């Protein structure tokens, strides 16, 4: 059923790109895969600044750890943050990732843990490695949000704005909040970090780029949540906050502190000024 207001009809895009027997490649999975691969290549480019102490082989090792961290952390985060009661009663469903259910905040914790462990094991500058990974992260975030739009999921609240979208199964046109997130948490945050990493005073103070990422994502997500429909099984918490806003608040606070102070030595001398 369409909105009573003029709105954009949801594009008829099959969430499955192609299927071969039981194997199906979905836009959602492709978003993760492309985000990791493109971020991987982008980190190679950032090595020219020389502030991480990494070579390409070490980047490869870090990316493997990040990939496992995203998958494990994203799934466990969804289980714990969004549907703990359901999975407590149905523990076998925890492993049914193909049915959906990933948490960005859980994936962030998992990926960060993977980076820290991998960098520590190889005696790299942990904060500097986290910084370059933070610069690459918005690529995947933006692509996955576009995939959310293609899937017609995580849409926004009802609205009558000119760019409202009639999503399948809804009774009113809604904010395309997935596109808001792709633009703010993906494109704009990537561009911000793209320019910030080129400033020696920021790049050579470990932790600052990570702080800018945390602050930028946290603030973007907190604001977009005012337009995004809360999870049906959770609704509002404390009558006015969403789970996404609650989980983003620590990111904002930690990001503000790191952006100001950084961590580790006050300066790393890089090979490229």
The predicted-structure confidence for 168-204, as pLDDT tens digits, reads as follows 988 899 999 999 999 999 999 999 999 999 999 999 9
- Say whether pLDDT at 267 is over 80: no
Strongest mean pLDDT among 4-8, 52-56, 131-135: 131-135
CA–CA separation, 82 and 233 (whole Å): 8
Q: pLDDT tens digit string along 78-109?
A: 888 888 887 888 888 887 776 667 889 999 99
pLDDT 10s digits, 61-78: 999 999 999 999 999 888
In angstroms, the Cα distances linking 18 to 23, 144, 147 are 9, 18, 15
269 pLDDT exceeds 80?
A: no
Query: Each residue of 144-159: pLDDT tens digit?
Result: 999 999 999 999 999 9
Contact status, residue 150 vs residue 167, Cβ threshold 8 Å: no
Return the structure tokens found at 73: 């952390």
Q: How far is the C-alpha of 96 from the C-alpha of 89, rounded, in Å? A: 14
Radius of gyration of the chain (CA): 19
- Residue 123: strand, helix, or coil: coil
Q: What is the largest CA-CA distance in the chain?
A: 61
pLDDT confidence of residue 272: 43
The pLDDT, as a whole number, for residue 18 is 87
Nearest to 138, CA basis, from 95, 81, 186 = 186
The whole-angstrom separation of Cα 225 and Cα 228 is: 5
Output the pLDDT for position 231. Answer: 81
* pTM for the whole structure: 0.89
Which helix (H) or strand (E) covers residue 23, if one does?
strand 23-26
Rounded to whole angstroms, the Cα distance separating 115 from 254 reads 18
Q: What is the pLDDT of residue 273?
A: 38
Q: Between β-strands 23-26 and 16-20, what pairing exists: parallel, antiparallel or unpaired?
A: antiparallel
Average of per-residue pLDDT across 205-220: 96
As to burial, measured by CB atoms within 10 angstroms (0-12 exposed, 13-18 middle, 19+ buried), residue 180 is middle
8 Å CB contact between 208 and 202? yes
Whole-Å CA distances, 62 to 129, 169, 264: 9, 41, 20
Counts for the chain of helices (H) and strands (E), in that order = 10, 4
Domain map (residue ranges) of the chain: 8-261
What is the token pair recorded at 69? 């961290």
SS3 156: strand
* pLDDT score of 87: 83
Express as a percent the part of the chain with pLDDT over 70. 93
Measured between alpha carbons, how far is 72 from 67 in angstroms, rounded to an integer? 9
What would the pLDDT profile of 219-256 be if each residue is shown by its tens digit?
999 999 999 999 877 788 888 899 999 999 999 999 99
């Amino acid at each position: 059923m369409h909105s009573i207001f003029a709105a954009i009809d949801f594009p008829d895009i099959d969430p499955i790109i192609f299927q071969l027997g039981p194997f199906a490649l979905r836009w959602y999975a492709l978003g993760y895969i492309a985000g990791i691969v493109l971020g991987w290549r982008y980190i190679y480019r950032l090595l020219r600044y020389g502030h991480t102490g990494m070579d390409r082989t070490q980047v490869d090792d870090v990316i493997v750890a990040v990939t496992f961290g995203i998958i494990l952390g994203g799934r466990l985060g969804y289980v714990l943050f969004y549907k703990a009661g359901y999975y407590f009663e149905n523990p076998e469903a925890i492993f049914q990732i193909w049915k959906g259910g990933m948490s960005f905040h859980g994936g962030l914790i998992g990926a960060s843990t993977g980076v820290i462990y991998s960098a520590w094991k190889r005696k790299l500058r942990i904060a500097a490695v986290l910084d370059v990974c933070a610069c690459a992260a918005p690529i995947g975030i933006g692509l996955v949000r576009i995939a959310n739009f293609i899937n017609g999921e995580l849409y926004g609240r009802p609205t009558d704005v000119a760019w409202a979208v009639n999503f399948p199964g809804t009774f009113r046109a809604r904010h395309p909040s997935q596109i808001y997130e792709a633009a703010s948490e993906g494109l704009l945050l990537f561009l911000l970090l793209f320019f910030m990493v080129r400033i020696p005073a920021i790049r050579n103070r470990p932790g600052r780029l990570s702080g800018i990422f945390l602050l930028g994502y946290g603030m973007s997500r907190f604001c977009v949540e005012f337009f995004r429909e809360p999870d049906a099984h959770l609704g509002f918490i404390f009558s006015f906050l969403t789970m996404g806003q609650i989980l983003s608040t620590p990111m904002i606070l930690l990001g503000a502190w790191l952006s100001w102070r950084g961590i580790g030595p006050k300066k790393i001398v890089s090979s490229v000024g």
